[in-house]
């Protein structure tokens, strides 16, 4: 039985989305500046470039989390009883964390990238003081604590309603032959995210605390390879969880246009159970160039990378195609953006799997191939999921301007990610403040496409913000 979302809860979700829309645009502009600088179209000191890069990276990860949390919380609230104060507390901690992070970066000069790869925060090369690194990492920690509380609340609510995580994942229907109706897709997805993200956040909090102590007491340190494992486990899980939270918008909104409800079928339940396991154990594919890692872990990283594609391509992508095919669908903006988002997610998985092959990773790791594939499933996956939800919650099917913006976003987004992938093919390193002249033509093309995609998002965000007042009152 579906609950009705209260007005206060809906307003909280709108607050999340408004924050996400504004910050997303700002961070996209940071990205455009970086591509323009790499193309030779503007000059900024390298220190500033890396500060922008750090803000862009950590900010986008955080905003993807905020978008995912808003989508998941809104729809999960239809099935279980969630706490609005905890939801708001997450946002408050997020905003405090953002202020700390921005202060550490643009006042303190911290530029350790969003991965804060231990022990880099303690080795600034003269660019920042340890205090700036402590403030930055503490800000990230605070945001992590907020998300942990958020998940504990969703976990508590799910357990109260369904009795166990296994039941919420539909295991009695999947493995036990139960003929009862399985939990809805939103509950299954939220349970998966709960499991993986609590593990990821705990690992992230641990390495953040260790890094902070290392900065305050340099004699205290840990094995850098262990630190790297913890960071990439946390980073991989958290960013993937943002997609798994956001895809709930597809399950919930698309059926309202197609008239075909998205059901928790056995393949669906199996896919989500497999994804729960895969997301947790696949992270060694980020460490394939760490020759000192046990070889079996690298092999597992490759094999699980391959297997991870199956639930996404065979279940979610085929599912979206099935529900839309010959459904008599009238394309409003929510449906259009969400359909695009499933494509973006599935398409991004392909170059990611290719790069997850050890012998390929040898020549693509840390080239621009990497931002190529993750921008595919974040820019063309998570962003349209969030934007589709914004159009949905403001009850806006869009008009001519919105459709023009959508096409600008599609062309700009696709062009942008392909310039990254092409540059990866050309062995162009990622995260370089200055580029060689032979790399600049592709950079310039990337900047043009980025500007086009940003133009689309400006329209999406402005349309959302302009209807915010009337939606909040409704």
Partner 1 sequence: MQDLAWAISLWLMALLAIAFVYVAVKSGDKADAAEVMSTAGKIRTALFWIILVAGVPITMVTLTDLPYAAQSDATAQIVKVEGSQFSWDISPTRIVTGQPVEFHVTAADATHGFAVYDDTMTLLTQTQAMPEYTNILKYTFAKAGTYKVLCLEYCGSGHHVMSEEITVVAAGGN
What residues from 405 to 444 belong to the interface with partner 1 (CB under 8 A)? 421-422, 424-427, 429-434, 436, 438
| Near partner 1 by CB under 8 A: residue from 16, 30, 50, 244 | 50
**Nearest residue (CB) to partner 1, 350 versus 465:** 350
Query: CA separation (Å) from 185 to 10, 192, 263?
Result: 21, 11, 7
CA dist., res. 290 & res. 357, Å (int): 14
| Near partner 1 by CB under 8 A: residue from 119, 166, 172, 415 | 119
Q: How far is the CB of 106 from partner 1 (least distance, A)?
A: 15
| Near partner 1 by CB under 8 A: residue from 225, 407, 441, 474 | 225
**Nearest residue (CB) to partner 1, 2 versus 438:** 438
Contact stretch for partner 1 (CB under 8 A) within 65-73, 159-167, 222-230, 245-253: 222-230
CA dist., res. 144 & res. 120, Å (int): 20
Q: How far is the CB of 356 from partner 1 (least distance, A)?
A: 10
| Near partner 1 by CB under 8 A: residue from 22, 26, 42, 46 | 46
What is the Rg, in whole angstroms, of the alpha carbon atoms belonging to the chain? 21
Contact stretch for partner 1 (CB under 8 A) within 28-36, 44-52, 146-154, 167-175: 44-52
| Near partner 1 by CB under 8 A: residue from 18, 95, 165, 313 | 313
Closest CA to 453 of 134, 102, 92, 25: 25
Q: How far is the CB of 126 from partner 1 (least distance, A)?
A: 8
Contact stretch for partner 1 (CB under 8 A) within 11-19, 43-51, 159-167, 207-215: 43-51
275: its two tokens = 């994804």
Closest CA to 149 of 89, 203, 225, 106: 89
- The site string for partner 1 over 264-303 (x = CB under 8 A, - otherwise) reads ---x---------------------xxxx--x--xx--xx
Residues near 143 by beta carbon (within 8 Å), at least 6 away in sequence: 62, 65, 93, 94, 97, 98
Query: CA separation (Å) from 166 to 4, 151, 273?
Result: 26, 17, 9
Which residue is it, tokens 């901690």?
93
Q: For 432, which DSSP code?
A: -
Q: How far is the CB of 96 from partner 1 (least distance, A)?
A: 27
| Near partner 1 by CB under 8 A: residue from 33, 315, 393, 445 | 315
Question: Segment 64-103, which members bind partner 1 (CB under 8 A)?
Answer: none
Contact stretch for partner 1 (CB under 8 A) within 78-86, 171-179, 306-314, 398-406: 306-314
Give the Cβ contact number of residue 247 at 10 Å: 27
Contact stretch for partner 1 (CB under 8 A) within 2-10, 94-102, 346-354, 463-471: 346-354
Buried-exposed string 36-65: b where 16+ CB fall within 10 A, e elsewhere: bbbbeeeeeeeebbbbbbbbbbbbbbbbbb
| Near partner 1 by CB under 8 A: residue from 350, 458, 462, 465 | 350
**Nearest residue (CB) to partner 1, 5 versus 404:** 404
Regarding 357 and contact with partner 1 (CB under 8 A), the answer is: yes
Q: Do the beta carbons of residue 105 and residue 70 sit within 8 Å?
A: no
Helix (H, G, I), strand (E, B) or coil at 316: helix
| Near partner 1 by CB under 8 A: residue from 35, 56, 167, 228 | 228
Q: How far is the CB of 19 from partner 1 (least distance, A)?
A: 28
**Nearest residue (CB) to partner 1, 22 versus 42:** 42
**Number of amino acids touching partner 1 (CB under 8 A):** 82
Which residue is it, tokens 């790791």?
365
Q: How far is the CB of 300 from partner 1 (least distance, A)?
A: 11
C-alpha angle 55-59-65 in degrees, rounded to nearest 5: 165
Query: CA separation (Å) from 191 to 78, 98, 380, 439?
Result: 15, 27, 25, 44
């Amino acid at each position: 039985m579906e609950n009705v979302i209260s007005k206060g809860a809906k307003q909280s979700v709108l607050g999340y989305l408004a924050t996400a829309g504004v910050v997303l645009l700002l961070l996209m502009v940071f990205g455009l500046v970086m591509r323009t600088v790499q193309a030779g179209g503007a000059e900024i000191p390298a220190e500033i470039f890396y500060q922008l890069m750090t803000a862009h990276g950590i900010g986008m990860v955080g905003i993807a989390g905020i978008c995912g949390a808003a989508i998941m919380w809104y729809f999960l609230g239809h099935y279980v009883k969630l706490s609005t104060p905890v939801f708001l507390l997450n946002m408050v901690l997020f905003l405090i964390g953002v202020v700390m992070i921005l202060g550490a970066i643009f006042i303190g000069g911290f530029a350790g990238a969003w991965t804060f790869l231990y022990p880099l925060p303690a080795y600034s090369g003269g660019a920042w003081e340890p205090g700036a690194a402590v403030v930055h990492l503490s800000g990230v920690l605070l945001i992590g604590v907020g998300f942990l509380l958020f998940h504990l609340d969703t976990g508590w609510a799910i357990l109260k309603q369904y009795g166990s995580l296994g039941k919420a994942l539909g295991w009695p229907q999947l493995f036990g032959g139960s003929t009862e109706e399985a939990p809805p897709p939103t509950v299954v997805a939220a349970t998966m995210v709960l499991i993986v993200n609590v593990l990821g956040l705990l690992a992230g909090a641990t390495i953040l605390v260790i890094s902070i102590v290392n900065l305050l007491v340099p004699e205290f340190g840990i094995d850098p390879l262990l630190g790297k494992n913890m960071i990439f486990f946390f980073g991989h899980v958290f960013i993937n969880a943002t997609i798994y939270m956001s895809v709930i918008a597809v399950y919930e909104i698309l059926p309202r246009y197609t008239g075909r409800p998205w059901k928790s079928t056995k393949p669906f339940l199996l896919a989500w159970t497999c994804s729960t396991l895969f997301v947790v154990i696949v992270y060694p594919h980020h460490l394939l160039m760490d020759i000192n890692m046990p070889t079996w872990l690298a092999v597992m990283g490759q094999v699980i990378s391959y297997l991870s594609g199956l639930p996404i391509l065979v279940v979610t992508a085929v599912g979206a195609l099935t529900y839309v095919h010959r459904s008599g669908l009238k394309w409003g903006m929510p449906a259009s953006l969400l359909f695009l988002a499933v494509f973006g997610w599935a398409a991004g998985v392909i170059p990611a799997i290719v790069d997850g092959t050890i012998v390929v990773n040898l020549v693509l790791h840390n080239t621009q191939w990497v931002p190529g594939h993750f921008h595919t499933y974040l820019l063309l996956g998570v962003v349209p999921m969030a934007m589709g939800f914004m159009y949905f919650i403001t009850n806006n099917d869009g008009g001519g301007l919105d459709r023009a913006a959508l096409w600008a976003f599609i062309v700009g987004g696709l062009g942008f990610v392909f310039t990254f992938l092409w540059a990866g093919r050309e062995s162009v390193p990622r995260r370089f403040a200055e580029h060689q002249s032979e790399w600049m033509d592709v950079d310039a093309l990337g900047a043009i496409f980025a500007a086009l995609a940003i133009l689309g998002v400006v329209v999406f965000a402005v349309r959302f913000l302009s209807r915010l007042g009337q939606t909040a009152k409704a």
